Structure 1
Amino acid sequence: MSKISVIIPAYNAGRFLPECLDSVIAQSFSDFDVVVCDDGSSDDTAEIVGDYSKRDSRISYVHLDHVGAGAARNSGMERVSGEYLYFLDADDMIAPNALEVLYSAAQSHAADVVVARSHYLNDITEEESPIDFTMIDVACDVALTGDSLPSKPFQTFVGWPWDKLFRAEFVDQHGLTYQNLRSSNDAFFVYMALCRASCIVCVDKDLFTHRTNNAGSLERTRSKSWNNAIAAMKAIRDEFSKDQKLGRYWDSFVNWVSHFSYWNMSTLGEGSLTSEVVNAFDEFLSSIDCVGVSFSNIEDAAFIELSHCDRLDSISSYIQLRKRNEDLFNHLYSEKRELMAEIERQKKSLKEMSDRLSSIECSRSYKLARYISGMFGIFKRVRHE
């Protein structure tokens, strides 16, 4: 049995798989196995994994009939026996010490879940940028247990699995599985794990590279499966109704429901925010008990209140207005960030010039030149006298 099982769902990911698998093979931690769950790809995914498995016996391959990423991950879990589970997207990469750091943290603190930092890689521009919203207001490199567990897991963390390590026994104990959805299939698994964990450790190290702006990724085509977000929220809501122990996180969940609903509707493709979409989200939001809930964001509080209005078009109007304001803010913030970056570049350039000048002034040749120049000055004064 391996210490860590790496599960990689892949669908037509041949362009990215070599870089992804190379990052896994290069790990400083060697006691792991990998299963690539090919979700009915029509590209060269099978051939690529086959070549890698010939070179490294820790890598295995399973073919599936396009069941979706959630079902593919479930299939992977059924085929591995690692002490810990790590779910990696086929177009992402991990740092050379990622598994070592995650395993060490999990073992040191007997953690059910370990979370670490990450950054984006723009697939078009190849620019990297930090992801600064994945561990909010939480202590790092210590065991979070009991009252020290985050009281707002839905705001503290993000509901994706690739920046987290899960203890397999803990997952089995709570019967955690991914939903069989085209998109948003990971929210239930991840958030239920975070809500049920007895111990969470947050590692203050950037260990994951998450590719964004990939035209083939599901996050770019959510308009085809917008109702999956509602299915994910319903599943989590139903779990809350079954287990009173989860009640401590109800405020956090309602806050997330409001924001997640708004985000899903506001980021659909052009012309996709139809009355059918608005009506479906409105119906779900109306079923959420938000009486006495403390909202951390005034916009989210206002948005969920709209679900109790009679006019559905007010929701669409609100979404469009709020989205325009956010786009304007992001544009201004981007311009400010670019200006500050340019200022920092100029400061760095001036410092380099200053350091170069200081280096020249301290050099023997410069001192000799100054001495010779001084001597010529003395000769010149003597001649004039």
Structure 2
Amino acid sequence: MVSIIIPAFNAEKYLRECLDSAVGQTCRDIEIIVVDDGSTDSTGRIIAEYAARDNRVRPLVQPQSGVSAARNAALRIAGGEWVSFLDSDDVLYPNSIELLLGAAHVSGCDLVYGGWRRGVEFRQIDGSRSDAAPRVCDRLDVIEKVLYQSEGIVPAPWGKLYRRERLRDVCFDEGCIYEDLDLFYKVEGRDGKIAVIDAPVYFYRDTPGSLTNRFSPARLDVLKVTSRLEDFMAKNCPGLLPAARDRRLSANFNMYCLLAIHDRNGEYARISHECWQLIRRYRRESLLNPHVRMKNKLGILVSYLGERMLKAVSPLVYGGSRKNR
């Protein structure tokens, strides 16, 4: 059985579409754990409605505690041998779980990455896929691609299938909005291969009102998360240290530029200064690294023109930041 975990907070706008995609999976051996994270809209009623007509839907209600706490609560009661995560504003394609589970069985891997698409409105695709054959990848290669933000491979837990055992003794960091980046390398870093399929299994909806689509002090968490990530790689996977440093550099670039736009009163001047110092310390290594994406290298080149120039171009790049995972 596969446990599909859906955290939901004030999710009434897209929740029906999300739940329809879960209960309509071609793989029927599933349970759908939907966590109402203290919603004040009709989210709870919608969940109850689906649970009343499909006994595979398992409602779970908790005081508002955040997406990490919701996922952790669902994991504690999940009964499936396999686990997949779905956000309440996103959608699974009808055969997503079937494709992921088939790839796991064919490859013998206990973690499968699926392809994904993004947009505002969900559209169906041809269900017969020729790109669903799994590629078995070394775990370190996958982690490296995530850190370099290449090939569309992301740290988010959605769009993947985990054997429940692989998630043992780990949990999402409650209260951190970069919980996915903080968790993925601890799970993917465990022994074993990872299967990857190119077939889209997940539709990721761009929602302008999401927390990660606007600046807030909570976004500064990424500085701590990428620092911990670098420390982990230094101790456990030293070959990935350049990739971890580049990911940390990227995070410091993002926060420096966002603060240049939004911190008009200088409340976060110390953090901005620390970001600038790290940029100066790490930029040469990333500039000379052939794996670093061009966007990062262009930012590095601008930084060599000084803080004033980097702040001047920040609104052009970050003024309309998108939902970031």
TM-score (norm. length: structure 1): 0.68
Which residue of 1, 9, 12 corresponds with 1:11?
A: 9
Residues 324-368 of structure 1: CA distance to partner in whole angstroms, max 9, x if unpaired?
3799xxxxxxxxxxxxxxxxxxxxxxxxxxxxxxxxxxxxxxxxx
Which residue of 158, 164, 186 corresponds with 1:162?
A: 158
Change (3 A) 1:7 1:315: farther
Identity of aligned residues (%): 23
1:290 Cα deviation after fit: 8.2
Q: Structure 1 counterpart of 2:244, which letter?
A: F
Tell me if the contact between 2:255 and 2:272 (Cα under 8 Å) persists in the aligned partners: no
Which piece of structure 1 moves more, 145-154 or 110-119? Answer: 145-154
Tell me if the contact between 2:114 and 2:160 (Cα under 8 Å) persists in the aligned partners: yes
Q: Equivalences for 1:15-34 in 2 at 5 Å? A: 15-34=13-32
Count of residues in correspondence between the two structures: 305
Change (3 A) 1:226 1:145: closer
Kindly indicate whether residue 218 of structure 2 is the aligned counterpart of residue 218 of structure 1. Answer: no
Kindly indicate whether residue 178 of structure 2 is the aligned counterpart of residue 184 of structure 1. Answer: yes
Q: Equivalences for 1:133-148 in 2 at 5 Å? A: 141-145=134-138
Which piece of structure 1 moves more, 51-60 or 291-300? Answer: 291-300
How far apart are the structure 2 equivalents of 1:294 and 1:17?
Answer: 43
Query: Larger RCO: Structure 1 or Structure 2 (Cα < 8 Å, ≥ 6 residues apart)?
Result: 2
How far apart are the structure 2 equivalents of 1:114 and 1:248?
Answer: 23
1:230 Cα deviation after fit: 1.5
Q: Equivalences for 1:109-128 in 2 at 5 Å? A: 109-122=107-120, 126=121
How far apart are the structure 1 equivalents of 2:281 and 2:65?
Answer: 30
Which residue of 305, 308, 318 corresponds with 2:310?
A: 318
> Which is richer in helix?
1
Q: Structure 1 counterpart of 2:199, which letter?
A: K
1:77 Cα deviation after fit: 0.8
Tell me if the contact between 1:278 and 1:315 (Cα under 8 Å) persists in the aligned partners: no
How far apart are the structure 2 equivalents of 1:320 and 1:78?
Answer: 48
Larger radius of gyration between Structure 1 and Structure 2: 1
1:219 Cα deviation after fit: 1.7
Q: Structure 2 counterpart of 1:180, which letter?
A: E
Q: In structure 1, what is the equivalent of residue 193 of structure 2? A: 199
Equivalent residue of 1:61, what SS?
strand
How far apart are the structure 2 equivalents of 1:289 and 1:221?
Answer: 26
- In the alignment, structure 2 segments of 5+ residues that lack a partner are 126-131, 320-325
Q: Equivalences for 1:332-343 in 2 at 5 Å? A: none
1:106 Cα deviation after fit: 1.1
Q: Structure 2 counterpart of 1:271, which letter?
A: H
Q: Structure 1 counterpart of 2:8, which letter?
A: A
Q: In structure 1, what is the equivalent of residue 253 of structure 2? A: 262
- After superposition, the CA RMSD in angstroms is 3.5
Tell me if the contact between 1:149 and 1:199 (Cα under 8 Å) persists in the aligned partners: no
Tell me if the contact between 1:223 and 1:272 (Cα under 8 Å) persists in the aligned partners: no
- In the alignment, structure 1 segments of 5+ residues that lack a partner are 131-138, 328-385
Equivalent residue of 2:154, what SS?
coil
How far apart are the structure 1 equivalents of 2:111 and 2:308?
Answer: 38
Q: Structure 2 counterpart of 1:201, which letter?
A: A
Equivalent residue of 1:57, what SS?
coil
Kindly indicate whether residue 67 of structure 2 is the aligned counterpart of residue 69 of structure 1. Answer: yes
1:285 Cα deviation after fit: 6.0
Residues 300-331 of structure 1: CA distance to partner in whole angstroms, max 9, x if unpaired?
46867999x9xxx944642542663799xxxx
Which piece of structure 1 moves more, 313-322 or 108-117? Answer: 313-322
Kindly indicate whether residue 30 of structure 2 is the aligned counterpart of residue 35 of structure 1. Answer: no
Equivalent residue of 2:179, what SS?
coil
Q: In structure 1, what is the equivalent of residue 55 of structure 2? A: 57
Which residue of 233, 239, 242 corresponds with 1:251?
A: 242
How far apart are the structure 2 equivalents of 1:176 and 1:283?
Answer: 33
1:235 Cα deviation after fit: 3.0
